[in-house]
Amino acid sequence: MAILFSIVRTAKINLLDIYDYLTYVCDNIDIISIDNLLLYSKNIKEKFSLNKE
């Protein structure tokens, strides 16, 4: 549970859409490399940012 809380908290700090991010991770965990699913991945920040410019 602590790991999930940590992921949610980090996503919140980075202004990501938490629900959409977690849904994406759960749907793609077996398909996409874990490095591309982590919060520091550039495509994750671009895809789920709440501050879209």
Q: Does the residue 53 lie in any domain?
A: no
Write 36-41 long-range contacts (CB < 8 A, 24+): 39/7, 39/10, 39/11, 39/14
Which pTM value belongs to this model?
0.82
Q: What is the pLDDT of residue 1?
A: 83
For the chain, what is the domain count? 1
Q: For residues 34 and 24, give the distance between their C-alpha atoms in angstroms, rounded to a whole number.
A: 12
Q: What is the pLDDT of residue 51?
A: 84
Q: Extract the residue ranges of the chain whose pLDDT is less than 50.
A: none
Q: Does the residue 44 lie in any domain?
A: yes
Q: Does the residue 22 lie in any domain?
A: yes
**Domain of residue 23, residue span:** 2-48
Q: What is the pLDDT of residue 8?
A: 92
